[in-house]
């Protein structure tokens, strides 16, 4: 269900909300379901990860966190799209009175350290969340987390090939689902990183017996809690958050940025349409 007043722009098969961050938050509060915040490197997965493709296209809303994608859309397609960073979206969400209630939120986090920082940040901002409303997620996606080490086999040319349809790469978490059914929060914030979190968001929407708003915000929470480098509002507005992260953690972010080099070609070639699925992904050793 989508609000008739909401505007959307389809890019590479994904429907992006076209409006300010506050309006995006209000829209998801009305329709519920889950929101995704894909970064530029995530679009490369559209070619080989079928479940990720489905998670993005089935989302109730996507927001354009990638300044690169927004600029390319304007340059290559002569169309404008409002950029909404995951950080701006999360700040608007946490400003809502209903979201600040003690049991209104449930937090899915990547580590105990991230959980402790999130809990401390929430308390410092006057939001008391009970301990049982925090969940440290397991390593869901071995194919993405460890460079596709599961489901691989050698090829004749010396490289490696992984079956992207391997059933082991699918996200399932019955333990988390049971906790959510007990807590029944209005808002679920998933901050475990791009790829697994979108799949988890779709899984929870499909299997929860109630209908919460599910926010797949990735690293945005870490910018507030100190788990990631802080990004000033001026840098976020000027699309420079990626540059600050690059300087802070070059070994991590140089490969991530390099993986987005095909994005201009994808947008120029396919525009609003989803790129075709490549059956196999080859990885040179």
- pLDDT tens-digit readout, 203-245: 999 999 999 999 999 888 887 886 555 555 655 565 555 555 5
Supply the DSSP symbol for 85. Answer: -
For residue 144, what are the domain limits? 8-279
Q: Is residue 195 part of a domain?
A: yes
Q: Is residue 115 part of a domain?
A: yes
Task: Evaluate whether 72 touches 267 at the Cβ level (below 8 Å).
Answer: yes
What is the average pLDDT score of the chain? 81
How far apart, in whole angstroms, are the C-alpha atoms of residue 144 and residue 146?
6
Q: Is residue 90 part of a domain?
A: yes
Q: Is residue 193 part of a domain?
A: yes
Residue with the two structure tokens 């530029």 = 40
Judged on CB neighbours under 10 Å (0-12, 13-18, 19+), 59 is buried
Task: Evaluate whether 189 touches 215 at the Cβ level (below 8 Å).
Answer: yes
Q: Is residue 284 part of a domain?
A: no
How far apart, in whole angstroms, are the C-alpha atoms of residue 24 and residue 121?
24
Q: What are phi and psi of 109, to 5 degrees?
A: -125, 160
The helix/strand/coil state of 97 is: coil
Q: Is residue 2 part of a domain?
A: no
Q: Is residue 71 part of a domain?
A: yes
How far apart, in whole angstroms, are the C-alpha atoms of residue 90 and residue 177?
23
Q: How many domains, the chain?
A: 1
Q: Is residue 200 part of a domain?
A: yes
Identify the CA nearest to 62 among candidates 196, 198, 203. 198
Average pLDDT over residues 117-130: 94
How confident is residue 119, by pLDDT bands cut at 50, 70 and 90?
very high
Length of the chain: 285
């Amino acid at each position: 269900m989508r609000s008739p007043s909401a505007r959307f722009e389809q890019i590479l098969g994904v429907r992006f909300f076209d409006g300010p961050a506050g309006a995006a938050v209000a829209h998801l509060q009305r329709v519920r379901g889950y929101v995704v915040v894909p970064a530029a490197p995530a679009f490369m997965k559209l070619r080989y990860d079928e479940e990720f493709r489905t998670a993005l296209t089935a989302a109730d809303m996507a927001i354009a966190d990638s300044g690169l994608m927004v600029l390319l859309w304007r340059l290559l397609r002569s169309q404008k799209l409002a950029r909404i960073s995951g950080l701006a979206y999360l700040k608007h969400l946490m400003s809502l009175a209903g979201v600040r209630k003690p049991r209104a939120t449930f937090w899915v986090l990547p580590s105990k350290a991230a959980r402790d920082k999130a809990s401390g940040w929430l308390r410092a901002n006057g939001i008391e969340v009970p301990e049982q409303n925090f969940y440290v997620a397991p390593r869901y996606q071995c194919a993405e987390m460890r460079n596709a080490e599961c489901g691989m086999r050698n090829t004749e040319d010396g490289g490696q090939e992984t079956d992207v349809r391997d059933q082991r790469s699918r996200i399932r978490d019955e333990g988390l689902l049971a906790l959510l059914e007990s807590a029944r929060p209005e808002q679920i914030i998933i901050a475990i990183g791009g790829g697994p979190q979108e799949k988890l968001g779709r899984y929870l929407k499909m299997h929860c017996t109630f209908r919460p708003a599910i926010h797949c915000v990735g690293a945005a929470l870490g910018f507030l809690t100190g788990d990631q480098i802080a990004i000033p509002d001026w840098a976020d507005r000027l699309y420079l958050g990626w540059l600050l992260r690059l300087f802070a953690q070059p070994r991590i972010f140089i490969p991530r940025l390099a993986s987005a080099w095909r994005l201009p070609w994808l947008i120029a070639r396919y525009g609003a349409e989803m790129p075709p699925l490549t059956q196999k992904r080859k990885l040179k050793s």
